[in-house]
Every structure is written in C-alpha cells, then in structure tokens.
Amino acid sequence: MEKLTINELFSGIGAQVSALEKLGIPFEIRHTSDIDHNAVLAYASIHCGLTEELINTYTEYPTREEMARQLTEINLGYDFQKSKPYNWYRFVNSKSKELEKYWLANKLSKNLGDISKLEYLDYADFWTYSFPCTDISVAGKQEGIKHGKTRSGLLYEVQRLLERANKMLVLYFSCFQLFHDPANAFTNAFLIFNPIFHINRKPTIRTLKFQRIYPVIFRKTF
C-alpha cells in the first residue's frame, strides 16, 4: 500500500498521527507546524525515536549559535500571553544540552514552527490541523476567530496556505463550541474556506466527557 503523505499543522504531541498509527495506515510526515517547544519535544519522543541517548550521541549538530538562531527564527517557544519570544541564546554557553535537545526534536519532527511565517507547504495528500480553540472555548474568553487579533484567528493562516496548495483532503478538529458560540465561529470558519472548498459541516464525536467536531474539507475545483 502506498504511503499517505501528511502535513500536520498545530501538531501538538501528534494526536492525529497517533490515530493513523492505531489504524495501521502507512503514512509519511512531510511537515509539522507548532511553536510549543515542549509539545514538539513530546512529539519527537513519541513518534520520532528521540531519546536521551540519541541526544548525547548525535554527531551532526550545527553550532550552538546556529541552533539558537534557527529555533528563534521559527518562533519556537513563543509566549502568546506575554507576546515574547523564547530566549534560546541563553543556552549557548550552558553546560546543559537544552539547545541540542530541542533542536534535534525539531529536526526529527520536521517542524516548521510558526505557521504565520510559512509562505507555502510542500504537497501532501492529507492535511490535518487543530487550530487553537482558546478564543471560542467556554474555558477561554470567547473573543472569536479574529484574523491577526486572537490565537483562534490563526485559522486564517491555514486558509492562506490551502489556497496556494494543490488538491488534497483536509481534516481538522475543534471544540464543540465552534457550532454554538455567540460570535458564530463555525459560520465564520466556513466562510473563510469558501468558495474553493467544500466542508462537511457537522461530523461530531461524543465521548463521556468531551465533544469534538471533525470537519472534512476538500477542494471543489482543481
């Protein structure tokens, strides 16, 4: 069976990839995209074979200055609450292997970092993304999907990349409030992707504690 190629956006610790692994579907990750440095570390440990031994024995690290530059350039570790980038340069002269650990995790997971900095993505058959629901969840301030103003507004960055891509199938998931928030978040999300995409509007999965929605998107024309 030919491998399904994947672009995994807002990849976190790799929940979407875990589903493919459990289903036994052969796949190849082309790229991931996330700025949570600890999530990237977990992703590489769970899915890419990152271990302390590998960190200590890997022989192709660039200089520490270069590692710090690369991680800073992709906004890895950026703090949204403080609007402050992570200071990777503080580890350049450290005795610890923090730079090596996170740089190697980033490399193994093929992480491109900040989605807003990406001009385009290489072709993949299947894209997944779970954009931040912080601003539409009942646990957040419900400020809505606002381009350039809220974290949930990063959905617009997905739209931008999808419009430049060739045909593909896309799956995303979000909190149930996407259907029910007072700011009409789902309507806004749906309008973002029209007219070139078709969205399956209400694929809801209920569990004992949570409800999640998994809309599927595909291009109407190619």
**Cis peptide preceding 203, ω within 30 of 0:** no
- Looking up tokens 């989605």 gives 115
From 133, 158, 189, 199, the catalytic residue: 133
Structure tokens at 176: 């149930």
* 133 carries an active-site annotation: yes
Which of 105, 136, 101 minimizes the C-alpha distance to 32?
Answer: 105
The two three-digit tokens of residue 5, written as one number: 């190629």
Residues in the chain: 222
Query: Cβ distance 213 to 203 under 8 Å?
Result: yes
List, in sequence order, every residue forming a beta bridge with 8; answer none if it has no partner: 32, 128
Structure letter (DSSP) for residue 79: B
Residue numbers annotated as active site: 133
